[in-house]
Amino acid sequence: MWKSLLYLPLFYKNQYRSPDSFRQFQEKRLRHIVAHAYRNVPLYHRKFREQGLSPSDVTTLHDLVKIPITTKKEIKSGFPHDSVARGYSEKTCITETTSGTSGNMLTVLYDRRGYEILRSVAFRAFLAQGLRPWHKYCIMCRDLREFNKATGSVLYRTRGLLEGRPESELVKELRGIQPEVIGAHPSLFVTMAKIMEKNAVTDITPRMLFIGGEMSYPVHREYIERIFGCSTFNKYGAYEANSLAWECKYHTMHMDADSVIMEFVRDGEPVSPGERGEVLITNLWNEAMPFLRYRLDDVGIPSDESCPCGRTLPVLEEIEGKLDDFIILSSGELIPSTRIIPYLFDAPHIDQFKVLQDSPDHIELRIVPQEGFTDDMERELVACIQTALDMRITVTVRKVHHVDLTGQGKYKRVQRTFEIDSFM
């Protein structure tokens, strides 16, 4: 995996390019990947022909809107013969499997050069956030064998710690290792922080924490930072493209737009900076399995702000989560889960929780209560959440013994049992 470092100087330089130079870099890669996909991927050849398009029609970023949106269903149903480029197979490629948080797993193939390039983009983010090769870096993972295969020896002090066991064991192991950097899902950090707080553990003192892989809420980050005594840095990625965006030291989210073009659309049209839109990605480097205007089912807000760090990479104001992370009202309005999660997190005597929406008119709060949770507390919690939702939805409570994990050890705080066609 040392080959990834060969590309690092290029991508380190890219983050400080002038806007014109950066756009030219993007458009050169865009023209290449579009032509490659048209010639070698039956799915895209067919989609282009149906629209009367040819690669020569897509030469600039503004031309992207001409390409039809691609869905996970199309990629998955056509795998491998329709969505994998000719000349590539699972035997010759690096294979990743999406986490399937929503129960819809997808196999992604990477050609080796493209994979190394995307890894170098991820290393750029680590460097910007302050990680150095000599730092002890512990990453929580579900499969140590896959973790070791993926990381190799590039970050030679990186160590995987196996999830899926009592969090108290992880805390004990961290006390022995004394890592300078820790990476995990925010929900796991919250659970470990509660154990540390309960047992007055103060000797885990990392420089920084990397969070990602699931929705992170400000209330969780504040709690984690208070208990661990250091800053958290958010990382936004997807198996279909690796790194998408990351926080610099100023906690500005920078998009890796030299490896993946991100679009934010509503009803198929680009949104303005500061407006909520559905995320589409175009991976500029993966020739084995191109993704052109691929719908991630995520919702985010782009920004036109600059950052004091001096990087010219475009800024992402916020990722609000997946479409499934939103509460949908009968009017069709989408309510971000950030509006209600803080009430559940701050409520006394609740160990774990999950919000289940089974209709546009009703949500159920599934909670794991601790001793001391009273009926009055339950009524107050329901009232707070109904108020946060403008009294437009019925809220009930169901007490359970545990909340299940989904997709590779992730907590899904909000789950909807009915589908919506697209972002509204």
Residue 79 domain flag: yes
Residue 266 domain flag: yes
- 110 with 52, same domain? yes
Residue 168 domain flag: no
- 68 with 32, same domain? yes
- 100 with 244, same domain? yes
Domain end, chosen from 288, 320, 352, is at 320
Residue 177 domain flag: no
- 304 with 278, same domain? yes
- 8 with 115, same domain? yes
Domain end, chosen from 286, 320, 354, is at 320
Domain end, chosen from 291, 320, 349, is at 320
Counting residues of the chain whose pLDDT is more than 70, the rounded percentage is 94
Q: What is the mean pLDDT of each run of 10 residues along the chain (424 residues)?
A: 84 97 98 99 98 98 98 96 97 84 80 95 95 93 71 68 90 97 95 96 98 91 98 96 96 98 96 97 98 96 97 97 88 89 93 93 96 95 93 94 73 83 54
- 111 with 8, same domain? yes
- 258 with 304, same domain? yes
Give residue 333's pLDDT: 87
- 400 with 373, same domain? yes
The pLDDT tens digits for 163-193 are 888 999 999 999 999 999 999 999 999 999 9
Residue 162 domain flag: no
Query: What domain range includes position 107?
Result: 3-119+237-320
Task: Tell me the CATH number at 251.
Answer: 3.40.50.12780
- 316 with 337, same domain? no
Give residue 102's pLDDT: 53
**How far apart are the C-alpha atoms of 115 and 98, rounded to whole Å?**
15
Give residue 393's pLDDT: 92
- 409 with 266, same domain? no
Residue 253 domain flag: yes
Give residue 1's pLDDT: 58
- 114 with 256, same domain? yes
- 253 with 402, same domain? no
Give residue 150's pLDDT: 60
Residue 176 domain flag: no
Residue 423 domain flag: no
Task: Tell me the CATH number at 393.
Answer: 3.30.300.30
Strands 137-141, 181-184: parallel, antiparallel or unpaired by DSSP?
parallel
Total number of domains in the chain: 2
